[in-house]
Amino acid sequence: SSGINAEYGGTVVKDSLNELKNRPVLDLHGYTLNQSKYLLQEAIKHYHHMLAGRDPDYPRALTIITGKGLHSSGGVSKLKPGLRTFLAGLERIQCLEEDDGFKIRFRD
């Protein structure tokens, strides 16, 4: 995990997490499955922590954009199946699958 952070000098992870402050969306277009899992794991931790100190009206759902796979070989998403399995293994997360990604909510 830390290898991915080091690979980007932490910049990609930091920028992705900072974006969550403005909009609860994580766009994983262009990332490998391993990079996406790492970014998603970090985003979930960060977003959950952010929610603790937020106004109750702040969106409680985090949107994860994987894309539909239109630009992938065979026109099939490479990220979505792997992230579906990854998300299913997480506790305290409710996951709704959408055309181009997922919407996740945190269970109390």
- This prediction has a pTM of 0.77
Q: What is the pLDDT of residues 19-59, one digit of tens each?
A: 777 788 999 988 888 989 999 988 888 887 777 877 677 77
Closest CA to 33 of 89, 79, 2, 101: 79
Give the three-class secondary structure for 62. strand
Long-range contacts of 30-36 (CB under 8 A, 24+ apart): 31/79, 33/78, 33/79, 33/82, 33/83, 34/4, 35/4, 36/66, 36/79, 36/82, 36/83
